[in-house]
Amino acid sequence: MRYVKGIFLIIVGIVVLVAAIQNYQAFSTSVQFRLNLLIFKAETPSLSIFLIAVISFFLGVVITALFGIADNLRLRSKLREAYKTQRTVSQAQHSTLQESSQQ
């Protein structure tokens, strides 16, 4: 299954690369974003669409990684609580068995 995933990712990467090469002129088009509010006005420098796509991709990767880290920390906390509960129950069962064997 690992090899299938690797082959799939290579194929997707090749397709994206071919699309970028074939549409080079469209990707090299520059755009400029403006924000005009009543009290605030902002304008970005001219950016190519390719640069915007790359920034968006990496921003998505970072946001997804942050969500993954938060989920991992939450699951670790739950696992620690489950271990503590299991240890407490195990100790209670062990002490109950010792008391019943002494009688």
Q: pLDDT (tens digit, 9 = 90+) per residue, 76-99?
A: 999 999 888 888 888 877 777 676
Is residue 29, in this structure, part of any structural domain at all?
A: yes
Is residue 49, in this structure, part of any structural domain at all?
A: yes
Is residue 100, in this structure, part of any structural domain at all?
A: no
48's enclosing H/E stretch is strand 47-48
Is residue 103, in this structure, part of any structural domain at all?
A: no
CA-to-CA dists, residue 31 to 50, 77, 95, 97, angstroms:
10, 46, 73, 75
pLDDT over threshold 80, residue 1: no
Mean pLDDT across 99-103: 66
Number of domain units in the chain: 1
Q: Where residue 20 falls among pLDDT bands split at 50, 70, 90?
A: confident
Whole-number pLDDT of residue 6: 85
Q: pLDDT (tens digit, 9 = 90+) per residue, 33-68?
A: 898 888 888 998 998 888 888 899 899 999 999 999
Q: Alpha-carbon distance 16 to 70, whole Å?
A: 30
Print the domain residue range for 76.
2-94
